[in-house]
Amino acid sequence: MVQLLTGLRHNRKALIGLTIVLIIVLIAIFAPLLTEYNPAARTGRPHQPPSADHILGTTRLGQDVWARLIYGARTSLAVGFAAGLLITVVGTALGIIAGYRGGKTDEVISFFTNMVLVVPNLPLLLVIAAFVGQAGPMVIAFILGITSWAWGARVTRAETLSVKQRDFVKAAEMMGEPQWRIMAFEIFPNVLSIVGINFIGSVIFAVITEATLEFLGLGDPNVISWGTMLYNAQKASALSVGAWWDILAPCIALALLGIGLSLLNFAVDEIANPRLRTGSNLGRWASLVKAGEGRL
Amino acid sequence: MPFLLRRTLFYLAAFIAAATINFFLPRMMPGDPVALMFSSAASELPPESLAALKLTFGFVDGPIWKQYLTYLASIFTGDLGMSVKYFPLPVTELLGRALVWTVGLVGTATIISFFLGSFLGMLAAWRRGTRLDVIISVCSIFATSIPAVVTSLVALYFFGFTFGWFPTGYAHDPALDPAFSLQFVGSVLHHALLPMITLCFVLTGGFTVTMRNNMINLLGQDYVVMARAKGLSDRRVMVLYAARNALLPAVSSLAIALGTVLGGSLVTEVVFNYPGLGNTLYQAILARDYPVIQGQLLVMTAAMLVANFIVDVTYVLLDPRLKGSG
Amino acid sequence: MSDSLLSVKDLTIDYIGAEKNFRAVDQVSFDVAPGEVFGLAGESGCGKSTVAFAVSRLHIPPALIRKGSEIRLAGRDVLALDNKALRDFRWREVAMVFQSAMNSLNPVLRIEDQFHDVLATHNRCSRKEARERTAEMLKLVDIKPERMRDYPHQFSGGMRQRIVIAICMALNPKLVIMDEPTTALDVVVQREILQRIDELRRQMGFSVLFITHDLGLMVQFCDRIGVMLSGKLVEQGRSDEIFRRPQHDYTRKLWASFPSLKGGLLG
């Protein structure tokens, strides 16, 4: 854990990623201080380009795009983190149980995991969301949580299988520790980097998928989020009438959040698996070769 | 071949699972499932069609298992009911037409991006730590982390509307009748190009990262070192020894990636107003055309399973350890 | 020493870190005469494999062979070879057997292909000539030539290592480096493989640079031995001398950890 944190501090990808995510989080928290407009209210004429009054222009209904964007960040982040957490908890629990218990338990869990992996995720979500009706953000987060844990379960299981062979687990077994204690206190801390990767990956997935479902018209159109912004802009034919700000604003926001989270994710992956690193030592190596200090 | 037989049985189970979800979902919702599914149909369809539709979805008198078996029976006889919006068009026909466009678009984009991504990943891993590696890695991180909906909208805005290089919708010029003429095929390609490039952009990064990671983990293997010690050319070692083996896990991760591929293509089709499954589905969602929405899950699942099976066969062909011995 | 085949002088190798370097090999010098078996002993991590890799110039970044190091093989300056000359040099002059018997053959290529790419690269052999040569080499290590169409996973660990040795012989190299060639194998197979190498060596006259942490094995098999400790070559000499009159403390400790060997094996 400590190793993970110090590793993150020295990793450039992690720093850039964390900065991006933190800025978005701060903007979302302090949204009321950053705009005078009510994001739901008509505050100007329809489809006005960016100006001093409306720095990102207005929607077709005359709402302020910047206000909607920063209030919408709250929804996207909340759904992302809630769903990400749910996905990770379910995936980690199933993965550790399957990997550690083995035998019949493993067979059953693995069978379901593989099944969920081959049923295409977005079409499944679409069917569920369509029956739920106009799903609010937290309903979407819940649906994501129960349908998207399979990848995490699979990688956690694989990691558990190797941790299980280690001496401290064997020792704990010898001392007669109950299984749940071994799973919670011996296995779990040692698969933490996988859990971290799973969590960040799930948050990315949840943010993207929530926006996609809303864009496809399966969300509650009265909620203010990046997905409904895209949906409303698309319905208002924003691109063909040339109101690019209406659509590009949420696009750029989604891309930035995605990039920030991915950078963090790759950084954790590199720290857990040092071989993947592009490392500064190779730069030093190259300069030494150039200086004639040695060769291969 | 036992490996493939095992996989086939598993796929059958997965398909039944998807059908089961379809069956139980409306029955789990609060309220009357018949009213929920066919509220719009009741006002528009003649009564005997409505009765047929109910039968297809297992709404018959009797215990739940009888209803379930009725539903499974209609699915396995290829009856997915009728579209409410486009009544009396059967769902299979509606989705079948759309599937052709989707398979063309998604299949081509997947193959292109798999090979392109694996190639870039191979180069990056082989030249690890060089500027080439850094450029490839950073670009693929960016490309994978941008949602498909964003990429599609931005591509449509710039290349469709602003620069006007590509058409902004449909699969071919609506003035042309489908025919094997140069003009028609050209029009189809021209319309498919921008969605295709967009999809490739969305997909390639993921394949690049997978291949790079697999390959880096393989570079320390004794057989790769021995290949270098044998005095083989760098290219031969890289391709035939390192990449050829790194491709095996990449192919099996392709099977998992296919879900993402399908999801991405749905969105891209909607944005580009491309008449594939995604767009058909979008129209169905807007009209709450439940038979179509349910049908697409089965069609998508079937497509996914067929694609998975192709991946399995490829894997067996690529890995001699799986041949014969099973 | 003009009559030596391999001459390593002041070899120093660093692994470059982000801030500090790790010196894996420090000022190591030794010679191997034609037809001689020279052993490098030491515990894992002492740098003996790093030396072996350097002789074929197999290192990848961040390993760095420091200037001032010298490796000569049959009079040629190995460290000065350019890429093309290096490719030509590898395997024709120095062949190599690796530690993991299960893992040194490419799992997706047939055995004949793994012979063929050596023969085609170095001798521009045709398929047919390569097959004949492959059959000949496989016979040397008692593997039926018709099995050349098989894949590596169809052979046992000992057989795979024999195949690797056969590939080593394909170009009649002057030196064969063996980096812990038998660690992954059981004792009976180990003995069989070493005997085979010894016969081949007498027959074909190559030298062997043998690397292992197993001193017992080394004393039986090698003419001379060098002992390495954290990157330095602390002692070298004839096997029986190193065995009977070890000079360095570390060598004595190494022997002490093999009590059953004293007097028994060399006899």
**Closest in C98, C104, C122 to B231, CB measured:** C122
Q: Where are the domains of chain C?
A: 6-255
> What is residue B164's three-state secondary structure?
coil
Is B208:B136 a contact under the CB 8 Å cutoff? yes
Reading the block at residue C135, the tokens are: 């059959």
Place of tokens 């801030």: C19
pLDDT at B211 over 80: yes
- Pairing assessment for the beta strands C63-66 and A294-295 based on DSSP bridges: antiparallel
CATH code linked to domain C6-255: 3.40.50.300
**Closest in B150, B258, B282 to A216, CB measured:** B282
Distance of CA B179 to the CA centre of its chain: 27
Report pLDDT digits (tens) over C21-55.
Answer: 899 999 999 999 999 999 998 888 888 989 999 99
- What chain C residue is nearest to A281 in terms of C-alpha separation? C18
- For C176, which DSSP code? E
Burial label for A12, CB within 10 Å (0-12, 13-18, 19+), is exposed
CB contact under 8 A, A123 and B256: no
A284: which chain C residues are within 8 Å (Cβ-Cβ)?
16-18, 62
What's chain A's length in residues? 296
Distance spanning both ends of chain B, measured CA to CA: 7
Chain A and chain B share a number of CB contacts under 8 A equal to 168
C12 sits in which H/E element? strand C6-16
Give the DSSP letter string of B19-77: HHHHHHHHHHSSS-HHHHHHHHHHHHS-HHHHHHHHHHTT--SS-HHHHHHHHHHHHHT
Is C113:B320 a contact under the CB 8 Å cutoff? no
Is A210:A73 a contact under the CB 8 Å cutoff? no
Q: C79: pLDDT confidence band, cut at 50, 70 and 90?
A: very high
C109: which chain B residues are within 8 Å (Cβ-Cβ)?
240, 244
Q: B326: pLDDT confidence band, cut at 50, 70 and 90?
A: very low
- Min Cα distance A174 → chain C (Å) is 30
- The Cα C115–Cα C166 span in angstroms is 9
CB contact under 8 A, C64 and A292: no
Question: For the CA atoms of B50, B56, B59, B60, what is the dihedral angle to 10 degrees?
Answer: 100
Chain B from 47 to 106: CB within 8 A of any A CB:
none
- The Cα A25–Cα A32 span in angstroms is 13
CB contact under 8 A, A292 and C14: no
Please name the amino acid found at residue A31: A
- Within 10 angstroms of residue A33's Cβ, the number of other Cβ atoms is 9
Distances (CA, A) of B325 to B10, B321, B322, C151, C259: 20, 7, 6, 12, 46
- For C115, which DSSP code? H
pLDDT at B254 over 50: yes
- The Cα B101–Cα B278 span in angstroms is 10
* pLDDT in the model for residue B32: 76
- What chain B residue is nearest to C57 in terms of C-alpha separation? B229
Per residue, what are the HEC states of C123-144?
HCCCHHHHHHHHHHHHHHCCCC
**Closest in C18, C67, C69 to A281, CB measured:** C18
% of chain B with per-residue pLDDT over 70: 98
Burial label for A51, CB within 10 Å (0-12, 13-18, 19+), is exposed
Q: B41: pLDDT confidence band, cut at 50, 70 and 90?
A: low
Report pLDDT digits (tens) over B62-84.
Answer: 888 888 888 888 888 888 887 87
- What chain B residue is nearest to A283 in terms of C-alpha separation? B129
Reading the block at residue A159, the tokens are: 């990691």
CB contact under 8 A, A118 and B144: no
* pLDDT in the model for residue C266: 42
* pLDDT in the model for residue C219: 84
Most confident of B94-103, B252-261, C6-15: C6-15
Q: Does C41 touch chain B (CB under 8 A)?
A: no
With CA atoms as reference, report the closest residue to B225 among C210, C83, C54. Answer: C54
* Segment among A174-183, C12-21, C114-123, C251-260 with least mean pLDDT: C251-260
- The Cα C59–Cα C71 span in angstroms is 14
- The Cα C225–Cα C41 span in angstroms is 7
* pLDDT in the model for residue C2: 53
Q: C265: pLDDT confidence band, cut at 50, 70 and 90?
A: very low
Q: Is B123 left (phi over 0), alpha (psi -120 to 50) or beta?
A: alpha
What is the mean pLDDT of the segment spanning C110-128? Answer: 92
Dihedral sign computed on CA atoms, order B173, B179, B184, B188: positive
C107: which chain B residues are within 8 Å (Cβ-Cβ)?
223, 245, 319-321
With CA atoms as reference, report the closest residue to A157 among A244, A96, A72. Answer: A96
CB contact under 8 A, C62 and A285: yes
Helices (H), B57-130: 64-76, 91-126
What is the mean pLDDT of the segment spanning B46-69? Answer: 80
pLDDT at B58 over 90: no
- Min Cα distance B243 → chain C (Å) is 11
Distance spanning both ends of chain C, measured CA to CA: 31
pLDDT at B19 over 70: yes
- What chain C residue is nearest to B319 in terms of C-alpha separation? C108
* pLDDT in the model for residue C221: 87
Mutation site for B-interface testing, chosen from A76, A110, A121, A127 by largest number of B Cβ within 10 Å? A127
CB contact under 8 A, B229 and C92: no
Q: B227: pLDDT confidence band, cut at 50, 70 and 90?
A: very high
* pLDDT in the model for residue A220: 86
- What chain C residue is nearest to A294 in terms of C-alpha separation? C66
Chains touching B (at least 3 CB pairs under 8 A) are A, C
Report pLDDT digits (tens) over B275-311.
Answer: 888 888 888 888 888 888 888 888 888 888 888 888 8
- The Cα C62–Cα A284 span in angstroms is 9
Per residue, what are the HEC states of chain A?
CHHHHHHHHCCHHHHHHHHHHHHHHHHHHCHHHHCCCCCCCCCCCCCCCCCCCCCCCECCCCCEHHHHHHHHHHHHHHHHHHHHHHHHHHHHHHHHHHHHHCHHHHHHHHHHHHHHHHCCHHHHHHHHHHHHCCECHHHHHHHHHHHCCHHHHHHHHHHHHHHHCCHHHHHHHHCCCCHHHHHHHHHHHHHHHHHHHHHHHHHHHHHHHHHHHHHCCCECCCCCCHHHHHHHHHHCCCCCCCCHHHHHHHHHHHHHHHHHHHHHHHHHHHHHCHHHCCCHHHHHHHHHHHCCCEEC
CB contact under 8 A, C65 and A296: yes
CB contact under 8 A, B286 and A217: yes
- What chain C residue is nearest to B221 in terms of C-alpha separation? C103
Is C235:C242 a contact under the CB 8 Å cutoff? yes
- What chain A residue is nearest to C63 in terms of C-alpha separation? A296
Reading the block at residue A248, the tokens are: 């590009």
Beta bridge partners of C209: C38, C177
What is the mean pLDDT of the segment spanning B209-230? Answer: 90
Reading the block at residue C35, the tokens are: 């037809």
* pLDDT in the model for residue C264: 44
- The Cα B89–Cα A78 span in angstroms is 42
* pLDDT in the model for residue B235: 92
- The Cα A92–Cα A82 span in angstroms is 15
pLDDT at C262 over 70: no
Reading the block at residue A94, the tokens are: 């199933």
C87 φ, ψ (degrees, to nearest 5)? -60, -40
Is C55:C73 a contact under the CB 8 Å cutoff? yes
Per-residue pLDDT of chain A (296 residues; tens, 9 = 90+): 666 677 677 778 888 999 999 999 999 999 888 888 888 878 878 888 888 788 788 888 888 889 899 999 999 999 999 999 999 999 999 999 999 998 999 999 999 998 888 888 888 888 888 888 778 888 889 999 888 999 999 999 999 998 888 888 888 888 888 888 889 888 998 888 889 989 999 999 999 999 998 888 888 888 889 999 999 888 888 777 888 888 889 999 999 999 999 998 888 888 877 777 666 777 788 888 888 888 88
Contacts of B35 (CB under 8 A, 6+ apart): B42
Distance spanning both ends of chain A, measured CA to CA: 36
- The Cα C70–Cα C188 span in angstroms is 38
A42 φ, ψ (degrees, to nearest 5)? -75, 115
Question: For the CA atoms of C57, C60, C65, C71, what is the dihedral angle to 10 degrees?
Answer: -10
- The Cα A270–Cα A23 span in angstroms is 24
A49 vs B43: which has the higher pLDDT: A49
Reading the block at residue B309, the tokens are: 């099976």
3-state helix, strand, coil in chain B (%, to 5): 80, 0, 20
Angle between helices A150-164 and A65-101 (to 10 degrees): 40
Reading the block at residue C216, the tokens are: 């017992």
% of chain C with per-residue pLDDT over 90: 52
A242: which chain B residues are within 8 Å (Cβ-Cβ)?
161
- The Cα B260–Cα A219 span in angstroms is 20
Mutation site for B-interface testing, chosen from A126, A139, A154, A247 by largest number of B Cβ within 10 Å? A126
CB contact under 8 A, C106 and B232: no
**Closest in B255, B256, B300 to A123, CB measured:** B300
B57: which chain A residues are within 8 Å (Cβ-Cβ)?
none
pTM, 2 dp: 0.85
* pLDDT in the model for residue C138: 93
